[in-house]
Amino acid sequence: MPGLKIEPDTKQDSMRFVHTPVLLEECLEYLAPRKEGELMVDATQGEGGHSFAFLSRFPDLRLIGIDADPVIQEKAKERLKDFGERVQFYPGWAQSFFAAFPSEFKRPDTVLLDLGVSMFHYEESGRGFSFRKDEKLDMRIDPSSSLSAADLVARLPEKELADLLYINAGERFSRRIARAIAEARSHSRLESSAALSALVESCYPPAGKYGPVHPATKTFQALRAAVNGELSRLQDLLEGAFRILESGGRMGVISFNSGEDRIVKYFFREKNRDCTCPPEEPICRCEGKRVLNILTRKGIVPRKEEKESNPASRSARLRVIEKLLDE
């Protein structure tokens, strides 16, 4: 495919898979092929759990898997090696893939966007995603990216750091934590996930230290989102995926926090409107037409059994649309 570097599956080493795909059965139900020979894009493939299930259940399906992390993509290649030419791989960010997608090529009938971070990054990457480990404070999904979490913590002015913690993750002690970080970095650079975790925990009152959610959870979430541009990329990601989706095709998005879900919900809602004129306009002048159907009005959340067996799924929400028209 011109302009896109899609790589064949070449690695054959055995690997351990640590991530459990969330809302799997619901994805298989809502995004099942509607005809033979369909093409699916798993735009945030990770270890390939969703891809494996779709390729296994639907023998005529072809799939392109995308991931910005070359290490985890090798794990997906190993997992999916038996599917041969039915699966191809694109190394990079999904919005780059969508932006470079040639108009003359067959467009995908299905797109899946799982916005969560794979358990691989927490358990095996060694990049400081987990506040429960003592690792280098990095948090980059794409290791070639220039800015690490340690860089962000070292460079951001105190007020901007507090705003980032509050806006990206709703951290209620954001100013206290930012002040503590600013004080600590005046003596030495914060380089490890364990050091940052302990510092954040010290900012919490005793009553907040022993609940079900670790005090450092939101700080780590906010920094990870900033390092990887999770929220800033999302609008372009949704626009690009919807643009190349075939008319009549379906797109599913799994979000894991209110910030992500708000962007997804608003994006779908705006494209589900016939009229986009300002509310004060007495007469419609835009002659707009809605370009999608929303198939999951409130979104789908995991069943009780899934939450119990896979606690990482607790905050997940799946929204699915069907494309009606090209814009």
The dihedral through the CA atoms of 168, 171, 176, 177 has a sign that is negative
As a whole number, mean pLDDT of residues 185-200 equals 96
203 and 277 inside one domain = no
Query: What is the chain's mean pLDDT, rounded?
Result: 90
Per-residue pLDDT tens digits for 138-154: 999 999 988 999 999 99
164 and 204 inside one domain = yes
Q: Which of 56-65, 229-238, 273-282 has the lowest mean pLDDT?
A: 273-282
Residue 17, domain member (yes or no): no
* pLDDT value, residue 109: 98
> Which amino acid appears at position 266 of this protein?
Y
Burial of 252 (0-12, 13-18, 19+ CB in 10 A): buried
Given 193, 227, 261, which residue is the final one in a domain? 227
> Which amino acid appears at position 303 of this protein?
R
3-state secondary structure of 239: helix
* pLDDT value, residue 325: 82
110 and 253 inside one domain = yes
249 and 161 inside one domain = no
If we measure between CA atoms, which residue out of 40, 80, 89, 30 comes closest to residue 60? 40
Q: Label residue 102 by pLDDT band (50, 70, 90).
A: confident
Q: Which of 20-24, 157-161, 203-207, 287-291 has the lowest mean pLDDT?
A: 287-291
- Rounded to the nearest 5°, which phi and psi values hold at 54? -65, -45
Q: What is the pTM of this model?
A: 0.87
As a whole number, mean pLDDT of residues 17-33 equals 91
Residue 10 has pLDDT above 70, yes or no: no
Domain that holds residue 294: 24-121+230-323
* pLDDT value, residue 218: 94
Other beta carbons within 10 Å of 118: 29
In whole angstroms, what is the distance from residue 265 CA to residue 277 CA? 19
Given 227, 246, 262, which residue is the final one in a domain? 227
Residue 131, domain member (yes or no): no
113 and 242 inside one domain = yes
Q: Each residue of 50-71: b (16+ CB within 10 Å) or e?
A: bbbebbeebeebbbbbbbbbee
Residue 129, domain member (yes or no): no
* pLDDT value, residue 273: 87
Q: Label residue 12 by pLDDT band (50, 70, 90).
A: very low
In whole angstroms, what is the distance from residue 85 CA to residue 318 CA? 29
Per-residue pLDDT tens digits for 30-60: 999 999 999 999 999 999 999 999 999 999 9
Residue 266, domain member (yes or no): yes
